[in-house]
Amino acid sequence: MEFRDTAVEGAFRASVRAFLDAELPAEVAARPGEWGLFNAGGRATREFRLWMQEWTAKLNEHGWGAPAWPKEHGGGGLSVKEQFILSEEFAWRRAPRPGGIGHGWAGPTIMVYGTEAQKAAYLPRIISGEHVWCQLFSEPGAGSDLASLQTRAVRDGDDYVVNGQKIWTSGAHGAHMGILLARTNPDAPKHRGVSYFLLDMKTPGVTVRPLVNMLDSHEFNEVYLEDVRVPASHLLGEENRGWYLATTTLDFERSGIATSVAHQQIVRDLAAFARTATGRASLARNSRLRTELAERAIEAQVESLVCYRIISMQERGEIPNKESSIAKLYSSELDVRLATTGMHLAGLHGQLNDAGTDASLGGRIPRFYMHSTTSPIGGGTSEIQRNIIATRGLGLPRA
Q: Name the residues annotated as catalytic.
A: 253
Pairwise CA distance, residues 6 & 143, whole Å: 43
Residues 6+ apart with CB under 8 A from 274: 281, 282, 283, 289, 293, 345
Pairwise CA distance, residues 229 & 71, whole Å: 34
Residues 212/218, Cβ–Cβ less than 8 Å = yes
Pairwise CA distance, residues 136 & 139, whole Å: 8
Measure CA 165 to chain center: 23
Residues 195/149, Cβ–Cβ less than 8 Å = no
Measure CA 186 to chain center: 31
Pairwise CA distance, residues 66 & 104, whole Å: 9
Burial class (CB in 10 A: 0-12, 13-18, 19+), 89: buried
Burial class (CB in 10 A: 0-12, 13-18, 19+), 228: buried
